[in-house]
Homo-oligomer: A and B are copies of this chain.
Amino acid sequence: MPSDLETYFQDCRRDVEAALDRILAASHAPAVVAEPIRYAALGPGKRLRPILTIAAAESVAPQVGLDVTAARAAALPAACAVEMIHAYSLVHDDLPAMDDDALRRGRPTTHVVYGDGMAILAGDGLLTDAFRVLASWPDGDAREAASTARRLRALTRLAEAAGSAGMVGGQAIDLAAVGQPAPADAPDAAAALEDMHGRKTGALIRAAAVMGALLVGADARLVDAIDVYARELGLAFQIVDDILDVEGSADALGKTAGKDAAAGKPTFPALYGLAESRRRAAACIDRAHRALTTAGIAGRLGEIADWSLTRTR
């Protein structure tokens, strides 16, 4: 990664983590559930989704007449909300009734530390509180009608992406397929795999970026360009994840290499082979760049797209 982009990532992470820390510290939740919520939300993480929210807001800011500081401030409620929803989804996905993972990023998962029941509640709390944060964030602009309408649009998009037609639906498809994987050569295997990932991870990544554009008041043309960009980025991310799962060492990945393939889960390399998978990821990133260029969007989003192809973890 260019050291400049790494600095940008660190800068975004610092702002998001400081805001999350403030939100959780101000909560009136009883300690018994506040503690697992902190554990889940403030543990180590890439913070990819909130970085996309901030980068999207900042990238369209010049076209809506905002400076970068104002754009980041406007994006921060959605950045925190999307990270809280991502954190909840990991807590629930790791449960024994789901993927049954005892470790995540080198730490025991939330249910291992606090028990299954409290982990379910911590996830429920994070999910619900995310909508509270986005709906009620106290900013100077919040009483303006335009700001209120944008907030409601962003929240609608977030709920659509995270709900039963989006992330929850994708996880349900994935869960139902355990032990009965479709043959990789089924005629619709590729479409089914893309549908599952589009829901399970793609929808939230798209919502993350789109919310950034919505909250600074971008018009439909800019919002659509950001949406296409994030759709392609999300798919490339998933393809690269699958490639790294085959190629990467356990050390670099922080998890057991080849785990998905061993679990009989469908993957892009299993479907297309490694070379074709790489070609497809690159084609996604080309389309992502084209969406930005056509709409005249500069800034960090293009660099993030390039980084997504070359990352090693």
Cβ–Cβ < 8 Å partners of A27 in chain B: 164-165
> Do A125 and B155 contact each other (CB < 8 Å), given the known contacts A117-B175, A132-B160, A149-B148?
no
Contact, CB under 8 Å: A30 / B169: yes
- Docked complex Cα distance between A162 and B124 (Å): 9
Residue from the list B121, B149, B152, B164 in contact with A129, Cβ < 8 A: B164
- Docked complex Cα distance between A127 and B171 (Å): 15
- Docked complex Cα distance between A29 and B103 (Å): 30
Contact, CB under 8 Å: A124 / B92: yes
A263 within 8 A of B: no
Contact, CB under 8 Å: A124 / B127: yes
Contact, CB under 8 Å: A175 / B132: no
- Docked complex Cα distance between A149 and B123 (Å): 28
Copies in the complex: 2
A186 within 8 A of B: no
Cβ–Cβ < 8 Å partners of A98 in chain B: 117, 120
What's the least CB distance linking A231 to chain B, in Å? 16
A274 within 8 A of B: no
A176 within 8 A of B: yes
Residue from the list B125, B148, B163 in contact with A169, Cβ < 8 A: B125
- Docked complex Cα distance between A176 and B117 (Å): 9
Mark the stretch among A31-39, A277-285, A294-302 that contacts chain B.
Answer: A31-39
A172 within 8 A of B: yes
Within 8 A of B (CB), among A91-128: 92, 95, 97-98, 115-118, 120-128
A131 within 8 A of B: yes
- Docked complex Cα distance between A158 and B155 (Å): 14
> Do A127 and B125 contact each other (CB < 8 Å), given the known contacts A92-B120, A173-B32?
no
Chain B's closest residue to A24 (CB) is B164
Chain B's closest residue to A136 (CB) is B156
- Docked complex Cα distance between A199 and B128 (Å): 14
Q: Mark A211-224, 1 if CB is under 8 A from B, else 0.
A: 00000000000000
Cβ–Cβ < 8 Å partners of A97 in chain B: 97, 115-117, 120
Cβ–Cβ < 8 Å partners of A118 in chain B: 172, 175-176
Kindly list the 9 A-B residue pairs having the minimum CB-CB distance in the complex, ordered from nearest: A125-B164, A132-B159, A29-B164, A33-B172, A97-B116, A28-B165, A128-B163, A145-B145, A97-B117
Between A and B, 25 residue pairs with Cβ closer than 8 Å are A27-B165, A28-B165, A28-B169, A29-B163, A29-B164, A29-B165, A30-B199, A33-B169, A33-B172, A95-B117, A95-B120, A97-B120, A98-B117, A118-B175, A120-B120, A121-B175, A124-B124, A124-B127, A125-B163, A128-B159, A131-B155, A131-B159, A132-B159, A148-B152, A152-B152
